[in-house]
Amino acid sequence: MVPDDLHDFFVAAAGVGGALVGLLFVAISVSSGRLAEGESAAPIHRIRAAAALTAFTNALALSLFALIPGHKIGPATIAVAGAGLAFIVAVLLSLIRLHLLLSRRVQDAVFLIGLIITFGFQLFEGLRVNAHPNDDDPVRSIAVLVVICFLLGISRAWELIGGPSFGMTHEVTAFFRKNQDPPPA
């Protein structure tokens, strides 16, 4: 059962999820050239688009099921976590098939690991809700995981559209390289 004090959170999260899915469709339309078959990086961009959609629909589905009266959040959490983990397996199989598994950036690997951890925790919390339906703690954890799914999806969508990246390692390296270059004459 979803605690009453989380009802407004899930209402807001459902609205946010619907809006983000719609915006992702717009971003995919704008970035359609990057997703074209002839583009060398197209498989990675398609995976990024699918990852963002998976994260957003995960959060949206959980939020909507949380609003249905009764004990729906546990089974819904298990189902969407299972679908998310199946997505990760499909991505890994695709990367292996395309010989891209070891050629990707660390950021892509960290993102996939983040999704595995998120969906793994979701699965665990969904099982806890089913085992202890009157315990609010797993539902509160699921609410936090909804926020994490939104953040992961936003991150992937930003990469999909080619938004600038300001990673700490990149910026520190660029800073020191600039300071080592001789001043212009």
Higher pLDDT, 52 or 1: 52
Domain annotation covers residue 185: no
Total domains in the chain come to 1
Give the span between the Cα atoms of 143 and 69, in whole angstroms: 16
Domain annotation covers residue 85: yes
Domain annotation covers residue 41: yes
Instruction: Tell me if 64 sits within 8 A of 73, measured CB to CB.
Output: no
Report the range of poorest mean pLDDT among 2-16, 77-91, 151-165, 169-183: 169-183
pLDDT bucket at 40, cuts 50 / 70 / 90: low
Report the range of poorest mean pLDDT among 9-18, 103-112, 124-133: 103-112
Return the pLDDT at 101: 63
Domain annotation covers residue 106: yes
pTM across the whole model: 0.82
Domain annotation covers residue 103: yes
Domain annotation covers residue 48: yes
What does the pLDDT average to over 5-34?
90
* Closest-CA residue to 88 (of 123, 62, 137, 64): 123
Instruction: Tell me if 121 sits within 8 A of 145, measured CB to CB.
Output: yes
Domain annotation covers residue 127: yes
Structural domain span for residue 96: 4-180
Q: CB count, 10 Å around CB of 91?
A: 20
What percent of the chain is predicted at pLDDT more than 90? 49
> Tell me: the pLDDT tens digits for 124-178?
999 999 999 989 999 999 999 999 999 999 988 888 777 776 666 667 767 777 7
Domain annotation covers residue 12: yes
Higher pLDDT, 35 or 77: 77
